[in-house]
Amino acid sequence: MVAICLQAYTGLESFNHGVPVMQKLKTTIVEPASRIEKGIVVGWAVLVFVVIMVAAGLARFIVADISAQEPDNAVIARTQPSPDVAAGTIAVSDLWIRATPPGARTAAAYLYIRNSGDNDRLLAVRSERARSVEIHTTQEQSGMMRMSRLDSLAVPANSDLQLGPGGYHLMLVEISESFDPGDSVLMTLMFEKAGAMDVNFAVRDAR
């Protein structure tokens, strides 16, 4: 590729400083000087071909890349499970923790939140089974899946919010022991307006 570019570049220089081209092309007998011109013409053809092939290849890749990008919106629940724990206008349901592989130091917890009142926020979560519990979101950023910690999670008035795999989740950091299927894990959810809620998460084998 580099070699071809150089050749083409040299060709351009010759076009600008060399003898008139048109005249040479008209002659039927090829003289040594016009052989160089022919070389230049071939060089150009090769360059243009290569550029087009590369552009076509890139366009294909870029188009495929863009079309495959999906907006990473908040996971909106398709089903609406019936709430089983309520504090004022906040109700939570389908609370579960992914059973952990052996040796795991982290775990993820998921739930469904329904807010039938004014705007509220999940401010913090605590559990005795982890050093800390963080509110996370998983997002695709510049081709990478990245979890980022949120200071709080808005639960707008009269809306539902699903925390689920691949989206919002509660991350239990430095867990004290493994979470096994059948375990029930007590956690405290702190809402700005609804206050503290003690809730139990069921540990599920999600394999």
Partner 1 sequence: MSSLSRMLMITAFAAVAGIGAVTARQLLMVNSPVAPEINGFVLQQPRLLPAFELLNGQAETFTGADFAGAWSFLYFGFTYCPDICPTAMVEMAKLKTLLSASHPDLLAEFYLVSVDPERDTPQRVQEYVTYFDDNFKGLTGDLEDISNLAQTASVIHVIEPSADGVSYEVGHSSTITLLDPQGSIRAIFREPLRAATLADDVSQVLSYAELMKE
Task: Determine contact, residues 132/173, Cβ cutoff 8 Å.
Answer: yes
Q: Does 177 bind partner 1 (CB under 8 A)?
A: no
d(CA 49, CA 120): 61
d(CA 59, CA 92): 47
What residues from 114 to 153 belong to the interface with partner 1 (CB under 8 A)? 136, 138, 140-147
Q: Does 111 bind Cu ion (CB under 5 A)?
A: no
Q: Which residue among 75, 108, 113, 199 contacts partner 1 (CB under 8 A)?
A: 108
Q: Does 136 bind Cu ion (CB under 5 A)?
A: yes
**Closer Cβ to partner 1, 74 or 206, answer by number:** 206
**Extended beta strands in 53-178, E state:** 85-87, 90-98, 106-115, 120-127, 130-141, 144-150, 153-155, 159-162, 169-175
Q: Does 36 bind partner 1 (CB under 8 A)?
A: no
Q: Which residue among 33, 48, 63, 76 contacts partner 1 (CB under 8 A)?
A: 48
CB atoms under 10 Å from CB of 192, counted, come to 14
Of 114, 124, 109, give the one whose Cα is nearest residue 156. 114
Stretch that binds partner 1, among 18-26, 30-38, 80-88, 188-196 (CB under 8 A): 18-26
d(CA 58, CA 92): 48
**How far are the Cα atoms of 9, 10, 11, 43, 62 from residue 49, in angstroms, in the given order?**
15, 17, 15, 10, 20
Q: How far is the CB of 40 from partner 1 (least distance, A)?
A: 10
Q: Does 147 bind Cu ion (CB under 5 A)?
A: yes
Q: How far is the CB of 183 from partner 1 (least distance, A)?
A: 16
Q: Does 165 bind partner 1 (CB under 8 A)?
A: yes
Query: CB within 8 A of 29, min separation 6: which ones?
Result: none
Q: Does 98 bind Cu ion (CB under 5 A)?
A: no
Q: Does 174 bind partner 1 (CB under 8 A)?
A: yes
Displacement of CA 88 from its chain's centroid (Å): 36
**Which residues form the interface with partner 1 (CB under 8 A)?**
15-16, 20-23, 41, 44-45, 48-49, 52-53, 56, 61, 64, 68, 70, 98, 100-108, 136, 138, 140-147, 165-166, 169, 171-174, 206-207
